[in-house]
């Protein structure tokens, strides 16, 4: 996994133009069974991907925290939401609450998330490859393939199995 992670940004750069073209076509004419196909590809990839051997999303990019996330996680720590925000979060350029620093403060040395049960929605859903109407998040996916080996492999599998 370490070697794959090291090579991933370069491999994603090499595939960028091809991926961009593919997603442009996908957006124009998404296959009727796209949700089903994505579910299959996502499940197949995550059956063989060990996120605990990776944690690259938690190490290199943080999630955004919704108000519901902040309330739930603050409650878990028996803190007020405002205390939680002051201690762990900042506002980014898009006016979202994000972590003050990466790797994520809640990531352990063993790659376990110390707030797994109450983690942000964005962490639960990352890399969003089982999302319905997947063609709508192509710009995000083009970025995620440089961070997430599973997303990279899923996009490669999409290009092989979806003929557009």
* Positions that interact with ligand SF4 (CB under 6 A): 49, 51, 54-58, 62-63, 104, 106-107, 113, 115, 119-120, 123, 126-127, 147-150
Query: Which CB sits closer to ligand SF4, 49 or 138?
Result: 49
SS3 for 64? strand
CA distance 12 to 149: 10
In terms of CB distance, is 22 or 63 closer to ligand SF4? 63
Q: 22-46: b or e for each residue (b if 16 or more CB lie within 10 Å)?
A: bbeebeeebeeebeebbbebbeebb
Q: Which residue has the tokens 């979060």?
A: 89
CB of 135 to ligand SF4, least distance (A): 20
Q: For residue 71, what are its two tokens?
A: 């309330």
Least CB distance to ligand SF4 at residue 105 (A)? 7
Nearer to ligand SF4, 24 or 52 (CB): 52
């Amino acid at each position: 996994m370490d070697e794959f992670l090291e090579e991933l940004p370069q491999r994603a750069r090499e595939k960028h133009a091809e991926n961009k073209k593919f997603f442009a076509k996908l957006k124009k004419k998404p296959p009727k069974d796209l949700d089903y196909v994505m579910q299959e590809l996502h499940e197949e990839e995550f059956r063989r991907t060990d996120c605990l051997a990776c944690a690259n999303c938690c190490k290199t990019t943080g999630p955004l925290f919704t108000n519901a996330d902040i309330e739930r996680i603050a409650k878990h720590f028996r803190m007020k939401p405002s205390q939680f925000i002051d201690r762990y979060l900042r506002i980014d350029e898009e006016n979202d609450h994000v972590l003050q620093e990466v790797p994520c403060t809640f990531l352990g040395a063993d790659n376990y998330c110390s707030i797994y049960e109450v983690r942000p929605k964005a962490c639960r859903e990352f890399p969003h490859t089982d999302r319905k109407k997947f063609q709508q998040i192509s710009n995000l996916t083009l970025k995620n393939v440089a961070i997430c080996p599973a997303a990279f492999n899923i996009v490669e599998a999409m290009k092989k199995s979806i003929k557009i």
